[in-house]
Amino acid sequence: MAIESCPHTGARLTSILDNRAMRSPEGVIYVNDTRSLDYGEDYFLSEYKNQYGKTYLEDEANLRRMANRRLDRIRTYLKPQSSVFEIGCATGFFLDEARKRGYDVKGIEISPFASAYARDTLRLDVKTEPFKAGKERYDAIVAFYVLEHMPDQKAAFQVITDMLNPGGIFVFALPSSNGPTFRFSPETWVKTHPRDHFADYSPASLDKILPHYSMKLRATWPASYHPARARGILRNPWIFRRYADFTSFGDTMEGVAQKL
C-alpha cells in the first residue's frame, strides 16, 4: 500500500511514475509495494555471486580496496582513535581496515552468517541484531547500502543522530535518484527497483531532510559511473565523469553528514 505522507516531515506526497511511486516536496521517493527480504547466507553467497560473478567472500580484495577509498575520503573528519560504528557491517571488511588505521570499531549485522565471520574470523566486536537505539555514542556512524532497506526511515535517521557525538559524522552509500537511469529511463528505474528499498534519496533531498535530524550534509560524490545509461552528450565517458563529479550525478552515491 502506498504511503500518503513523508515519514520525515509529514508533508503530503505526490504520485509519480504512473502511480507506482510517491515523491515528497523535498524530493524523497517512495516506491509502492516494497517489502523486507531475507538477508541470510544465500544473500552473501549465491545471490551476491549472481549479481557480481563471485561470492561476497571471494570479492574480499575489492571490498577492502573500496573500504580504504572510503576511509581516505573521511579521514579529515576523524581524529586518531576515533570511535566508528558500522550499521550492517556484513563480514566486517570495512571495520577491519578502519581498525588497522587505529580507529576503535564496532558494528552490527542482521545476517548470522556474515556477523559470525566478522567475529570468529576477523575478531571484530560485531553483534547479530537489527539496528536499534543504544546508549553508546560514536564519532562516526557508517552505513553502506543499508539505510534504504529500513522500513521506518524516520526512526533510522533519528537513531543515527542520537548515537552520534556532537560534531560526529554519518558516512553513507545509497542508491540515488540523481542518476542516469532515473533521469533518462524512468520506466527502467521502476522495473529494476529492488523490492526491499523503502526510500530513494538524492543529494538535494538529503540536504533538505538531514536538518530535521540536527545534521548537515557536508559532501556527496558519485559511487558509480555509467555513461552508457545516459543520453546525448553525457554518453561521452569523459564528459559524463566530469559532470558526475561536479553534480554528484550517479545511480549510486556516497557522502558525509555531520551532527550540528
**Range with lowest mean pLDDT among 49-58, 162-171, 179-188:** 49-58
Query: What is the set of domains in the chain, with CATH numbers?
Result: 37-180+199-259 (3.40.50.150)
How much is the average pLDDT of 220-245?
97
Q: What is the CA radius of gyration of the chain?
A: 18
CA–CA gap between residue 31 and residue 2 (Å, rounded): 8
The count of other CB atoms within 10 Å of the CB of residue 75 is: 13
Predicted confidence band of residue 223 (pLDDT cuts 50, 70, 90): very high
Q: What stretches of 45-147 show up as alpha helix (H) in DSSP?
A: 46-52, 60-74, 93-100, 112-120
Amino acid at site 172: F
Nearest CA to 171 out of 179, 187, 180, 160 is that of 160
Residue 41: the pLDDT is 62
- Percentages helix, strand, coil for the chain (3-state, rounded to 5) are 40, 25, 40
Which of 16-20, 41-45, 137-141 has maximum average pLDDT?
A: 137-141
The pLDDT tens digits of the residues spanning 52-104 come to 888 888 999 999 999 999 999 999 999 999 999 999 999 999 999 999 999 99
How much is the average pLDDT of 24-52?
80
Residue 192: the pLDDT is 93
Percent of the chain whose pLDDT exceeds 70: 96
Nearest CA to 90 out of 77, 66, 103, 82 is that of 66
Instruction: Give the SS3 label for residue 154.
Output: helix
Residue 38: the pLDDT is 67
**Range with lowest mean pLDDT among 22-26, 180-184, 194-198:** 194-198
Q: What stretches of 172-230 show up as alpha helix (H) in DSSP?
A: 180-184, 186-191, 203-209
